């Protein structure tokens, strides 16, 4: 089994970046979801409410992020900025501290998305813990929905696409790590794996939502797939009939992909790295 994709999403719910290699940090991959859009009260934005967010692409420059829209108009988000405005921000049931980016950036993003919003950054000092149900050692996460890494096997998508009239790309599911060489949905049962020098522990399968119905290139909702088909054979009560409660899953949750936590940091993983099953 080999790694075939490494993806990061610097701004939560905006476009992703595919990399040849990436450093593994305690919160996840370097740069992954360290920025997020919120309203003025700090409530987070995602493609669930604003599907057009998918069309904003990201580039990492030496000293900044560059966010571009479909017209190729762009704005820079400097890594160093006047950190004089802090705010409590909310991601699902967790609240943490963040810095608000300068107003010029927020005005540009509000204009593009046609709704008032602000960009916030998670500093190193702000620690957002993962679900206590799976937290073993004060493990933390960025602005990702719940866990530092999401892994999906290529054959899991192949299995789904065999059941769909219109085949989907992997980007619908926004994984951090994609692997080839495993049977479809083998990742469901992995407890611990090693990629390069990094050991990853599984937490829980990823429960999917309406965001998977957003066509990532157009930024528009695209019908009921893949949720309609996945619900026929990938509900938690069907995949884990005796375990879904111990995995902190709703019986009707639709599962696709596996959430991971890294047990060691500082190294990198890269395309082509072997994936070893430890348990």
pLDDT tens digit sequence for 154-200:
999 999 999 999 999 999 999 999 999 999 999 999 999 999 999 99
- Residue 246 gets the label, from left (phi > 0), alpha (psi -120 to 50) or beta, of alpha
Answer positive or negative: Cα dihedral of 179, 181, 182, 185.
positive
Reported as a pLDDT band with limits 50, 70 and 90, residue 119 is very high
175: alpha, beta or left, given left = phi > 0 and alpha = psi -120 to 50?
A: beta
Residue 233 CA: distances (Å) to CA of 151, 164, 177, 227, 254: 19, 13, 23, 10, 9
- Would you say residue 84 has pLDDT above 90? no
pLDDT of residue 185: 98
Mean residue pLDDT of the chain comes to 97
Strand 2-8 relative to strand 177-180, pairing: antiparallel
pLDDT digits (tens, 9 = 90+) for 28-44: 999 999 999 999 999 99
Residue 51 has pLDDT above 90, yes or no: yes
Are 16 and 197 spatial neighbours (Cβ–Cβ below 8 Å)?
A: no
Residue 251 has pLDDT above 90, yes or no: yes
Average pLDDT of span 2-13: 98
Distance in angstroms (rounded) separating the CA atoms of residues 112 and 122: 23
What secondary structure does DSSP assign to 44-63, as a single string? B--TTT-GGGGG-EEEE-SS
- The enclosing H or E element of 233 equals helix 227-233
Q: What is the mean pLDDT of residues 107-133?
A: 97
CA atoms in the 13 A half-sphere facing the CB of 240: 22
């Amino acid at each position: 089994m080999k790694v075939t994709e490494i993806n990061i999403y610097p701004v939560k719910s905006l476009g992703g970046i595919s990399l040849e290699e990436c450093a593994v940090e305690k919160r996840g991959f370097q740069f992954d979801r360290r920025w997020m859009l919120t309203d003025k009260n700090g409530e987070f934005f995602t493609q669930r409410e604003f599907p057009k967010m998918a069309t904003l692409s990201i580039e990492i420059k030496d000293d900044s992020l560059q966010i571009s829209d479909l017209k190729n108009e762009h704005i820079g988000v400097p890594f160093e900025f006047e950190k004089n405005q802090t705010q409590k921000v909310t991601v699902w049931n967790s609240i943490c501290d963040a810095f608000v980016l300068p107003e010029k950036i927020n005005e540009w993003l509000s204009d593009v998305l046609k709704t008032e919003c602000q960009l916030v950054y998670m500093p190193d000092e702000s620690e957002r813990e993962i679900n206590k149900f799976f937290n073993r050692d004060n493990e933390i996460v960025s602005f990702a929905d719940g866990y530092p890494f999401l892994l999906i096997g290529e054959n899991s998508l192949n299995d789904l696409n065999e059941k769909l009239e219109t085949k989907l790309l992997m980007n619908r599911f926004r994984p951090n790590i994609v692997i080839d060489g495993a049977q479809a949905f083998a990742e469901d049962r992995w407890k611990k794996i090693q990629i390069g020098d990094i050991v990853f522990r599984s937490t829980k399968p990823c429960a999917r939502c309406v965001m998977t119905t957003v066509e990532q290139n157009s930024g528009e909702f695209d019908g009921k797939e893949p949720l309609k088909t996945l619900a026929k054979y990938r509900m938690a009560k069907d995949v884990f009939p005796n375990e879904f409660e111990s995995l902190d899953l709703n019986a009707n949750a639709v599962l696709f992909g596996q959430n991971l936590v890294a047990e060691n940091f500082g190294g990198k993983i890269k395309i082509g790295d072997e994936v070893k099953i430890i348990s």
